[in-house]
Copies of this chain bind each other. A is one copy, B any other.
Amino acid sequence: MKKISQLTPKEIRALVRKGKWNRPTAGLAMGYAQANLVILPEKYAFDFLLFCQRNPKPCPLLEVLEPGKFRTEFLASDADIRTDIPRYNVYRKGKLEAIVKEIGRFWKTGLVTFLLGCSFSFEEALLRSKIPVRHIEEKKNVPMYITRIPCKSAGIFHGPLVVTMRPIAPVNIIRAIQITSRYASVHGAPVHIGDPSAIGIRDLQKPDFGDPVTIKEGETPVFWACGVTPQAIVMETKPDLCITHAPGHMFITDVLNEELAVS
């Protein structure tokens, strides 16, 4: 039997659908994009779509399904969004109600599915260019910080930008900016480099989410917009129902990271 790391996206989704893989997806189907999931009732859909349009760096839309639709067209041709994600979080009025392996029983007409790009895509591009990614080296979750940079609000949705931080050696900073700039649909170029306090971060060793990582002598902290932003903002509005992927348990697509890159 093949190792999970050797399986295609389609094979992994089939395993997930049968309930045989409910662990994080980092390192699986290397080369293929993974996506963040947000599912909302139709009454919130215009505001949230507008929020993503106005904040493309934290909210890079890869695919939006029409109300009630659970099959993707662009990201995969045979996927079912109700079963093909290893673990889902179900929130009611902003409170986590359940962590489940499939969401068939929560599904109803009028739910709108948003799939958003994920930084796994540009991290792979950094590694391919031999730029080390510290939290991967240290086998940790990426450190995330709530900044004092406001997102552009849209309807009921408003709140601060959440960023990830990766310490980069001076020799690699320019190249890291160039490489990630190519991946606009998966967070793209950094939003800030250098002084954390300039964007409202007090202590890099105390991230709001994820784990602190080592910052070596001479390295510069580089900050990218984070896919936690839309989830955090949606939660704050306390919608009747919101379903997301559980952190790290992403939707694995058939689209290559390279297909998402610009020239």
Using a CB–CB cutoff of 8 Å, the interface residues on chain A facing chain B are 42, 45-46, 49-50, 53-54, 61, 64, 66, 73, 152, 154-155, 178, 181, 184, 189, 262-263
Contact = CB atoms under 8 A, between A and B. Distances in A.
A100 to B, nearest CB: 27
A8 B248 CA distance: 50
Contacts of A154: 66
20 contacts: A46-B46, A46-B49, A49-B49, A49-B50, A49-B53, A50-B64, A50-B66, A53-B53, A53-B61, A53-B64, A54-B64, A66-B154, A66-B155, A178-B263, A181-B262, A181-B263, A184-B184, A184-B262, A189-B263, A262-B262
Given A49-B49, A66-B155, A184-B262, 15 more contacts: A42-B46, A45-B46, A46-B46, A46-B49, A49-B50, A50-B64, A50-B66, A54-B64, A73-B152, A178-B263, A181-B262, A181-B263, A184-B184, A189-B263, A262-B262
A43 to B, nearest CB: 10
Contacts of A61: 53
Contacts of A152: 73
Across the A-B interface, the 3 shortest Cβ-Cβ residue pairs: A46-B46, A49-B49, A181-B263
